[in-house]
Amino acid sequence: MGGGKRWVRVTPKGGETSLLLARATTEAQLAQVGDQAGGRIWLFLETDDLLGDHAAWLAAGVTFREAPRSESYGRVVVFEDLYGNGWDLIEPAS
């Protein structure tokens, strides 16, 4: 893009929706990195194998805020991205 602009678009295989990740370039933008949701969970990622993904991601060094748990809607575990933003990894109940 030039001018310091850079982004990557992430789309799940067969997905119709993408997530656009853009590099922070200004002081104001940099100050917000890691606080996009004000400390709340801001993104949800669905899986069909939560326990398998949890084990693999733990081995790869992903930071989890809790152990996997069961809820009425399925299994869930909260993890952090590289900047401390919280995500829910969810395996919906069948």
- pLDDT tens, position by position, 11-56: 888 888 888 888 888 899 888 887 778 888 988 999 999 999 999 9
Give the pLDDT band of residue 1 (cuts 50, 70, 90). Answer: low
Q: Measuring CA to CA, how many Å separate 61 from each of 47, 51, 57, 69?
A: 19, 15, 6, 20
Res. 58: pLDDT tops 90: yes
Give the pLDDT band of residue 7 (cuts 50, 70, 90). Answer: confident
In 10 A of CB 65, how many CB atoms?
11
- Under DSSP, is residue 64 helix (H, G, I), strand (E, B) or coil? strand
H helices of 1-94, in order, are 27-32, 50-59
Res. 91: pLDDT tops 70: yes
* Reported pTM: 0.75
